[in-house]
Structure 1
């Protein structure tokens, strides 16, 4: 494929913005695990195998700031905290499914 006619072409600002959040390691997996509904921190850590507590905490904060995840505190007793997808986070689920399908079809050989 030649690049005639594409001199100076830049990444779309919206795509760049999306990958500034989704391109960070673990974020897509956290969103995918939350597709099953609200979860506690411990449930999320189990669902996203290999993530440390500190990284999970940082990623949940970032996803909440991006309004993809909401943190809910239940006063109890005992006090409990859960995380769930916002409407914007739920809107991403079909895209994550398609991305997974694409990866299975096109990246499996590269992962071996």
Structure 2
């Protein structure tokens, strides 16, 4: 499922179309340490509904920022991890996190 992405007018616009929103950055941040299953992600990303988690994971996969690996076993097992492209974003998300922490403590 590829979401309808508007034309990007600059590189910043392009980047925020892919990682902007309420949950994408948080999901990428949680996955920085390795593979997680759906239930683990659901517990780690506080406040996200199962429907929104599924939709956001599909969008991140379509943008090639995460990999979804399905194991053919019963019960079904699915793991999510970052692609190399997704890993490239972690230093930037870390900087944004530091900035946010600083601003939050100043408030």
Q: Same fold judged by TM-score > 0.5?
A: yes
What are the ranges of 5 or more consecutive residues in structure 2 without an aligned counterpart? 1-7
When normalised by structure 2's length, the TM-score is: 0.85
Compute the RMSD of aligned alpha carbons. Answer: 1.7
CA displacement 1:52-98 (0-9 Å, x = unmatched) = 00000000000001100110001124321111100001111111111
Larger Rg: 1
Name the count of aligned residue pairs: 100
Q: Give the alignment partner of residue 56 of structure 1, picking from 53, 58, 64.
A: 53
Q: After superposition, where does 1:24-43 map in structure 2 within 5 Å?
A: 24-43=21-40
When normalised by structure 1's length, the TM-score is: 0.82
Per the alignment, residue 96 of structure 1 pairs with 93
CA displacement 1:1-57 (0-9 Å, x = unmatched) = xxxxxxxxxx96110011112221100000001112111111000000110000000
Q: After superposition, where does 1:58-97 map in structure 2 within 5 Å?
A: 58-97=55-94
What are the ranges of 5 or more consecutive residues in structure 1 without an aligned counterpart? 1-10
Higher relative CO (Cα under 8 Å, sequence separation at least 6) belongs to: 2
Per the alignment, residue 45 of structure 1 pairs with 42
Query: Compared with structure 1, are the counterparts of its residues 103 and 45 closer, same or farther at alpha carbon in structure 2 (3 Å cutoff)?
Result: same
